[in-house]
A and B are shown apart, each in its own frame.
Chain A
Amino acid sequence: MATTLEAPAQGGLPAEGASGVGVRVDRVRRRFPGGRGASAVVALDDVSLHAAPGEIVAVVGPSGGGKSTLLELVCGLQVPDAGTVRADPAALMPQRDCLLPWASALDNAALALRAQGMPRAAARERARPWLERLGLEGFAHARPAELSGGMRQRVAFLRTLLAGRPVLALDEPFAALDALTRQDAQAWLGRALAEAPRTVVLVTHDVEEAVVLADRVVVLSPRPGRVVAEIDVELPRPRRRTDAAVVERRERALRALGVTS
């Protein structure tokens, strides 16, 4: 895994450390031992997930279906009990934003760069244009408490993107946002990924979000999580949630989840 950062290319942001694997999770099983008397929990059972370099794969499924576990496997934070995980270096965007309350939006966005050893001034220099690109130019010096929920997610996403890793593991990034803010968030996420292409594993319980953003949607069953459907979206971007083709894929995913309308 490369740990050095290269000079930024014009426009987009290069990801380093890519060996061209993308994400290859093969027939993985993950089981957590139960507490006293409780039986063990099988979070994932025989799950395979492939994302080619540059591909955006959404994972949808009910709560408790092992989606977060899958991301932690991709990030190397857990090891599978069976099966294999191969992935380019990944940056994690956890469910809660985890912004540092004492640091400005700019410093929060630059945190991963600082964490990799970049001096403060250089890290801020790198992060600043991205704040502007996501419409946060007036808020570089605002602390998280002064930001709206949508703005906080933008900063958290930038922190993930600026880590410079080829893979982004996004764990229900917009679950806590209201419906309108979420649509806005999906729009800027789409724009940012168009500018700085990444291999993305996006975990969500919002089927519509999955279809609007992803190249492919993987549907997981309730615990133990198994892949019950894979849907190729294959639609041009930007997509509108009201397009017939988007609606059709959404219905297919919902049927795979056992939700009939």
Chain B
Amino acid sequence: MIRALALLALLIGAWEAYCSLSGIDPLVLPAPHEVAQALWEDRGLLWDNLLVTAQEVVLGIGLAAVTGLGCAVAVHLSPTLRRAVYPLLVGSQTIPIPVVAAPLVVWLGYDLAPKLAIIALVSFFPIVVTTLDALERIDPDQGKLMAALGVPRLRAFRLAEAPAALPGAFSGARIAVAVAVIGAVFAEQAGSEDGLGHLIQQAIPQLLTARAYAAVIVLSLLAIALFGLLALAERRLLPWAHPGGGPA
């Protein structure tokens, strides 16, 4: 933690030094002290918009977790589905968000729905992949043990496999946090009246570059906080997944 802060201080110092020595236009790259000033002066504005974006991100990841878990389980249980769905899953990740954002706004309106759809779309993939990985890592002997007893496939899955999916879903959600925040910014810029992405979009043409940077910093802090909360929740809810202590 101390080392991370020291590195951060070093980077900020280098940034400040570059801005003052190069004479770069603060409208292109504001110095850290200007961003800090914007963080303080716009704190009310940033906070209100943070609440909007945080709600979108949390609900979007939640939606992705539910659908991702369901999809992973279905693919795990059906090899046919696996062959049919996996290429589509990978393909879905190559769609640039701004391209789909516009039609989603047209279909779903300006409120929460299109944002959730976009955030869930980008968060879905890491959750499906890590969940499937966790399910595939189950010892094949486990299946033999159940098969020898003639246990129906679904019951064997419920008893001996399903809980193994949960740590995978959690890892996927942690990976998804970063892309979910970026997804939220794009979604808000496609059509929105509030949120940090909207704030950034407004700030740049108003020549308030420092405010845009301040919003970016708030977004990063949101991602870090969500990542930490997910790690904490996993340790609480699934202590068996980390027998050696906490997650790394």
Chain A residues packing against B (C-beta within 8 Å): 1, 3, 72, 75-77, 90-96, 98, 100-102, 111-112, 114-117, 143, 145-146, 159, 163, 165, 169
Alpha-carbon distance between A1 and B151 when the two chains are bound, in angstroms: 13
Shortest C-beta distance, A217 to chain B (Å), equals 24
Alpha-carbon distance between A259 and B243 when the two chains are bound, in angstroms: 42
Cβ-defined partner of A115 (8 Å) among B139, B141, B156: B156
Whether A72 lies near B144 (C-beta < 8 A) is yes
What is the size category of the interface that chain B forms with chain A? 20 to 34
Q: List 16 A-B contacts (CB under 8 A).
A: A72-B144, A77-B144, A91-B149, A93-B145, A94-B141, A96-B141, A100-B160, A101-B164, A101-B243, A102-B164, A102-B240, A111-B159, A115-B146, A115-B156, A143-B243, A163-B149
Q: Give the residue name and chain of the B residue nearest to A159 (CB).
A: B145
Whether B142 lies near A98 (C-beta < 8 A) is yes
Instruction: Say whether B147 faces chain A, with CB atoms less than 8 Å apart.
Output: yes
Known: A94-B144, A115-B159, A117-B155. 19 other contacts (CB 8 A): A1-B150, A72-B144, A75-B144, A77-B147, A92-B148, A93-B145, A94-B141, A96-B139, A98-B142, A98-B145, A101-B164, A102-B238, A102-B240, A111-B160, A115-B149, A115-B155, A145-B243, A146-B243, A163-B149
Whether A75 lies near B148 (C-beta < 8 A) is yes
Q: Given A96-B139, A96-B141, A115-B146, is A101 in contact with B151 using a C-beta cutoff of 8 Å?
A: no
Alpha-carbon distance between A90 and B145 when the two chains are bound, in angstroms: 10
Q: Give the residue name and chain of the B residue nearest to A117 (CB).
A: B155
Instruction: Say whether B203 faces chain A, with CB atoms less than 8 Å apart.
Output: no
Whether A100 lies near B163 (C-beta < 8 A) is yes
Alpha-carbon distance between A246 and B39 when the two chains are bound, in angstroms: 82
Chain A residue numbers with a CB within 8 Å of B156 are 115
Chain B residue numbers with a CB within 8 Å of A114 are 159
Whether A165 lies near B149 (C-beta < 8 A) is yes
Q: Given A114-B159, A115-B159, is A95 in contact with B141 using a C-beta cutoff of 8 Å?
A: yes
Whether B141 lies near A101 (C-beta < 8 A) is no
Whether B144 lies near A92 (C-beta < 8 A) is yes
Whether A102 lies near B141 (C-beta < 8 A) is no
Whether B241 lies near A101 (C-beta < 8 A) is yes
Chain A residue numbers with a CB within 8 Å of B147 are 75, 77
Whether A102 lies near B145 (C-beta < 8 A) is no
Chain B residue numbers with a CB within 8 Å of A77 are 144, 147-148
Chain A residue numbers with a CB within 8 Å of B144 are 72, 75, 77, 92, 94
Chain A residue numbers with a CB within 8 Å of B145 are 92-94, 98, 159
From residue 105 to 143 of chain B, which have CB atoms closer than 8 A to chain A? 139, 141-142
Alpha-carbon distance between A100 and B141 when the two chains are bound, in angstroms: 12
Shortest Cβ-Cβ A-B pairs, 7 listed: A145-B243, A94-B141, A75-B148, A92-B148, A115-B151, A102-B240, A98-B142
The interface bits of chain B over 206-243 (1 if a CB of A lies within 8 angstroms of the residue's CB, else 0) are 00000000000000000000000000000000101101
Alpha-carbon distance between A72 and B146 when the two chains are bound, in angstroms: 12
